[in-house]
Amino acid sequence: AQSVTQLGSHVSVSEGALVLLRCNYSSSVPPYLFWYVQYPNQGLQLLLKYTSAATLVKGINGFEAEFKKSETSFHLTKPSAHMSDAAEYFCAVSKTGNTGKLIFGQGTTLQVKP
Amino acid sequence: EAGVTQFPSHSVIEKGQTVTLRCDPISGHDNLYWYRRVMGKEIKFLLHFVKESKQDESGMPNNRFLAERTGGTYSTLKVQPAELEDSGVYFCASSHPGQGSSGNTIYFGEGSWLTVV
């Protein structure tokens, strides 16, 4: 069975500081991995996805994530936080070839302090 | 291009009543999904339509939930009768046909917030 664990339900950083949101997965088959973001009063928006190509994936708004098979991790990073990055972030996994059954982590709320 | 739209955005109903949520996917998207997030929990898959057919309904919690997609366009999710534990956010999502083997880009709506009192 697949699962996703996001470490830390709340993360607080100062504006301009590094953002690091942690995600570990469990999968018996090569996974597809995703990060979604939900801004207040909006739907889920895809930030980036890993589909077995490059292990370092670049997404929108300056975010990137690195797939590390040995650590079963897919942590999300951004070098410099902006106030507009405040949102809830979700890591998700699906089976290779699966047509959309995503398994989500619990979500991490990112707070950015001025 | 219009995104995934959901209606209503918010609904408050009494226990035992019926509620119907509607989802309009992005035009041309054969795949349509329903997900739910109960307060404090993770987002969970409910079911998946390919056009009008239910491809996977393994996440439907019980027979009080009925999803339909007549004609393969919009979908409805009916909860009858509603219980307190049904409160949460119901997300609809859609994707292009044939994207499954290459890693889906699934587009989500803003969600329908359901409160059962």
Percent of chain B at pLDDT exceeding 90? 77
Residues 15-74 of B with CB under 8 A from A: 31, 33, 35, 41-45, 48, 50, 55-56, 59
Both tokens of B15, joined, read 């226990």
Rounded CA Rg of chain B = 14
Round to whole Å and give the CA distance between A36 and B20. 26
Q: How confident is the model at residue B101 (pLDDT cuts 50, 70, 90)?
A: very low
pLDDT tens digits for range B9-44: 999 999 999 999 999 999 989 999 999 999 888 999
Round to whole Å and give the CA distance between B81 and B14. 9
Round to whole Å and give the CA distance between A24 and B69. 35
What single-letter DSSP state applies at residue B33?
E
Residues 17-76 of A with CB under 8 A from B: 32, 36, 41-46, 49-52
